[in-house]
């Protein structure tokens, strides 16, 4: 009786510690990410304004497929990537602070979910260390859906491995559907992990088939309303074809760049073991290898006969399979910036690997040898994360390297600054060419007007508080611009009030987008240059049939207020 009571106290104390550490982790990650915002574009990447621009479109009453093209695996209603940002703008105010609150909270929540998943498999100190490393990888704010969905997935998978049940099947199905509504490929990653854990945890083929069948039914039922909307406005076959085209073309533009280990720093200094991974190419290469090795280690652990680890075999198999699919899908293009996107999966696998090394039933020889190797490998990993994540700078800017007062003060400053954006950009002396362009668009178009942009300048329209025309935030020749899609774009365009088209001039336009270009030059006239950041100069094409109400700036660009 006393033993049972003592065990209950231990479990209760452990739950309290997990709760306290979860809150502490959330606060730390939230303030770290929020406090490091600020500066150009409010601290957001220019790519962030692609989904944000679509969210503003949704806030204005548009719906994917019905009112704009569903390109990018996010066009199924309700598109959570757009809908949640639109809701934040409506409920919290039309300002960048609202977007910051949504995305930073999403990333902090993902860190907590990762910790809660890891603590199912590993001791608390290992789980917290792994979750912190994942957070330090610095997931881009616009990628918060990736880590949020994966964080929820790894937690549900870990819980299902501990106790398989119909409720667990339903939870796996719900996370899969939520992932699909954020971005369709998320459902593939979550689905692979879900099916794997159900099969691995089943005691028989019959049980496995029954659980997978229930999972499939729930997923199909939950997705049916969304698929009906797709069929109504685009057709399922056409939508699937467009999605595949978009994925293939985007993948071709973002192939992974091969990096090799280097022996010298950029300024010619010879590297030693203490600063070897401070150099970004070395850090990237090391973390890329670690990303591949961790799921292999998980498979090895899963097949080792150990009663202590038998209950975690299904979770390890599922997470390893997820990682094998995620690595080629996520770690491409700018690899250094993409490690954070799959942090929940790699962090839990990292925690499981360390927990295996320091397991209770390990021999002294194995513990000393494995522990020594683990410490060395972990040191290299921490140093690499520090190098690519800019951790030292973030801790300094956020106030965490200083004092609690500095953290609160920095949060207060960011709170006030982000509240004024983008409104503060609309007047005064512009701080950059793009902000000058934002002032022009805001001053010389009406809120009900639309602007077509034939270039990749995703930040201009959201910061000017204007909506895009033609069903696309950016028209990029060669990216889903075949003849049928050009005609679709023109159909959206002709239903809208579009006084201005912004064009990045190129001789290839007449050949790459001939239908669109013909429509442009027949109805619009080149009215002058509009410089933007990066040395790019757009040209303002004004509608021929519309009389300007005035002129703007030294170039006397046409106004249509």
Note whether 215 and 164 are within 8 A (CB): no
pLDDT confidence of residue 506: 80
pLDDT confidence of residue 40: 85
Note whether 289 and 278 are within 8 A (CB): no
- DSSP sequence for 119-153: HHHS-HHHHHHHHHHHHHT---GGGHHHHHHHHHH
Residue 485 pLDDT greater than 60, yes or no: yes
Query: In the chain, what are the domain boundaries?
Result: 17-395, 426-559
| Chain-centroid distance, C-alpha 426 | 29
pLDDT confidence of residue 310: 78
Q: Which residue has the higher pLDDT, 453 or 373?
A: 453
pLDDT confidence of residue 425: 95
Token pair 């809660």 is at which residue?
116
Token pair 């959330």 is at which residue?
26
Beta-carbon count within 10 A of 116 CB: 23
Least confident of 248-257, 370-379, 542-551: 248-257
CA 317 – CA 321 distance, rounded (Å): 6
Q: Which residue has the higher pLDDT, 82 or 311?
A: 82
Q: What is the 3-state secondary structure (H, E, C) of 18-38?
A: HHHHHHHHHHHHHHHHHHCCC
Q: How far is CA 372 from CA 364, 369, 376, 443, 480, in A?
A: 12, 5, 6, 64, 52
CA 288 – CA 335 distance, rounded (Å): 8
Token pair 């997935």 is at which residue?
153
CA 403 – CA 412 distance, rounded (Å): 14
* Among 176, 183, 148, residue whose Cα is nearest residue 50: 183
258: pLDDT confidence band, cut at 50, 70 and 90? Answer: low
pLDDT confidence of residue 307: 66
331: pLDDT confidence band, cut at 50, 70 and 90? Answer: confident
pLDDT confidence of residue 274: 80
pLDDT confidence of residue 250: 62
505: pLDDT confidence band, cut at 50, 70 and 90? Answer: confident
* Among 64, 45, 41, residue whose Cα is nearest residue 54: 64
- Residues 239-245, mean pLDDT to the nearest whole number: 75
**Residue pLDDT, tens place only, 154-188:** 999 999 998 899 999 999 999 999 999 999 999 99
2: pLDDT confidence band, cut at 50, 70 and 90? Answer: low
**Residue pLDDT, tens place only, 379-428:** 889 999 998 888 999 999 999 999 999 999 999 999 999 999 999 999 99
Residue 253 pLDDT greater than 60, yes or no: no
pLDDT confidence of residue 3: 64
pLDDT confidence of residue 14: 87
- Residues 140-151, mean pLDDT to the nearest whole number: 96
Write down the mean pLDDT value for the chain.
90
Q: Which residue has the higher pLDDT, 398 or 252?
A: 398
- Residues 201-228, mean pLDDT to the nearest whole number: 94
pLDDT confidence of residue 393: 92
Note whether 558 and 540 are within 8 A (CB): yes
CA 534 – CA 551 distance, rounded (Å): 25
pLDDT confidence of residue 139: 92
């Amino acid at each position: 009786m006393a033993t049972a009571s003592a065990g209950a106290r231990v479990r209760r104390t452990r739950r309290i510690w997990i709760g306290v550490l979860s809150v502490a982790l959330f606060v730390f990650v939230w303030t770290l990410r929020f406090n490091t915002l600020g500066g150009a574009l409010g601290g957001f990447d220019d790519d962030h304004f692609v989904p944000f621009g679509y969210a503003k479109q949704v806030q204005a009453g548009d719906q994917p497929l019905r009112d704009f093209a569903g390109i990018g695996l996010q066009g199924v209603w309700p598109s959570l990537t757009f809908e949640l940002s639109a809701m934040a703008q409506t409920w919290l105010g039309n300002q960048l602070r609202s977007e910051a609150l949504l995305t930073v909270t999403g990333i902090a929540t993902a860190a907590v979910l990762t910790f809660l998943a890891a603590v199912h498999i590993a001791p608390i100190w290992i789980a917290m260390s792994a979750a912190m490393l994942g957070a330090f990888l610095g997931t881009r704010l616009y990628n918060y859906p990736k880590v949020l969905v994966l964080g929820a997935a790894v937690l549900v998978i870990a819980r299902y491995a501990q106790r398989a049940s119909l409720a667990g099947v339903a939870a796996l199905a719900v996370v899969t559907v939520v992932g699909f509504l954020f971005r369709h490929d998320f459902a593939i990653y979550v689905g692979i992990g879900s099916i794997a854990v159900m099969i691995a945890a089943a005691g028989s083929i019959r049980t496995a088939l029954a659980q997978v069948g229930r999972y499939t039914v729930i997923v199909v039922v939950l997705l049916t309303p969304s698929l009906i909307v797709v069929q109504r406005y685009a057709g399922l076959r056409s939508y699937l074809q467009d999605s595949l085209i978009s994925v293939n073309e985007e993948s071709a533009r973002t192939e992974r760049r091969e990096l090799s280990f280097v022996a010298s720093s950029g300024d010619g200094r010879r590297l030693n073991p203490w600063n070897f991974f401070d150099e970004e190419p070395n850090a990237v290469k090391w973390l890329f290898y670690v990303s591949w090795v961790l799921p292999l280690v998980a498979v090895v652990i899963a097949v080792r006969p150990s009663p202590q680890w038998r209950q975690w075999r299904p979770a390890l198999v599922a997470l390893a399979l997820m990682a094998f699919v995620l690595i080629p899908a996520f770690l491409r293009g700018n690899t250094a910036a993409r490690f954070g996107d799959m942090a929940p999966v790699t962090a839990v696998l990292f925690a499981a690997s360390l927990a295996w090394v320091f397991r209770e039933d390990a021999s002294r020889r194995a513990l000393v040898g494995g522990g020594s190797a683990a410490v060395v490998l972990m040191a290299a990993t921490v140093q690499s994360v520090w190098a690519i994540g800019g951790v030292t700078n973030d801790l300094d800017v956020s106030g965490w390297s200083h004092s609690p007062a500095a953290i609160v003060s920095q949060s207060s400053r960011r709170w006030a600054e982000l509240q004024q954006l983008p409104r503060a950009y609309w007047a005064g002396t512009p701080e950059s060419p793009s902000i000058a362009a934002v002032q022009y668009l805001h001053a010389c178009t009406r809120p009900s007007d639309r602007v077509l942009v034939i270039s990749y300048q995703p930040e201009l329209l959201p910061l000017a508080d204007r909506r895009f025309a033609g069903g696309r935030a950016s028209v990029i020749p060669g990216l889903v611009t075949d003849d049928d899609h050009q005609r679709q774009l023109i159909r959206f365009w002709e239903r809208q009030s579009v006084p201005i088209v912004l064009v990045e001039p190129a001789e290839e336009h007449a050949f790459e987008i001939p239908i669109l270009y013909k429509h442009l030059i027949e109805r619009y006239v080149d009215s002058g240059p509009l410089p933007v950041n990066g040395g790019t100069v757009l040209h303002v094409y004004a509608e021929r049939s519309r009389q300007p109400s005035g002129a703007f700036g030294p170039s006397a660009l046409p106004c249509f207020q």
